[in-house]
Amino acid sequence: MEADEIQKFDTVEELLAFLPLEERKLVAELRQLVLECLPFCAEKLSYNVPFYVGHTRICFIWPGSLPWGPVKQQGVQLGFCNGNLLQDDSNYLEKGRRKQVFTKTFHHVQDLDYDLIRMLLYDAGEVDARLFAQKKERSKVRRKA
């Protein structure tokens, strides 16, 4: 494969096999947390990384070895698609200039705050359910009109 060619994965297992060891460990730990806290989610590869989908896209795990557009990242990001709706009073999540998608970057497994990550994941699951309920309610109101 040429240097400018982008690796394409068909499965999360293929992605894991491609990653350097430290990223693979982080992705595996984060993946386990997501699947534990959001067991109703489907895991789907989008943009070549794992996304976790309930009624909406809830979160993703983005290893730094895979470019985010033209930007090369370091570490592994856990991203929340509706991060702006989460309870993050301690400003744990990185917002940058983004208004909706918030992330947290990890460089080593020791960086993981399991309790805080679980809390955010449970909250993200509740946000997903709330957004779906709001969408159903709007749909019901439109049908009556």
pLDDT (tens digit, 9 = 90+) per residue, 95-130? Answer: 999 999 999 999 999 999 999 999 999 999 999 999
Residue among 87, 91, 92, 93 at smallest CA distance from 125 = 87
pLDDT of residue 68: 76
The mean per-residue pLDDT over the stretch 59-82 comes to: 90
84 with 99: CB under 8 angstroms?
yes
Judged against a pLDDT cut of 90, whether residue 27 lies above it is answered with yes
Alpha helices in the chain (DSSP H): 12-18, 21-37, 114-144
pLDDT of residue 139: 73
Class of domain 12-144: alpha beta
pLDDT of residue 137: 80
Give me the chain's average pLDDT, please.
90
Residue 36, sorted as left (phi over 0), alpha (psi -120 to 50) or beta, turns out to be alpha
The mean per-residue pLDDT over the stretch 40-69 comes to: 93
Judged against a pLDDT cut of 50, whether residue 2 lies above it is answered with no
63 with 57: CB under 8 angstroms?
no
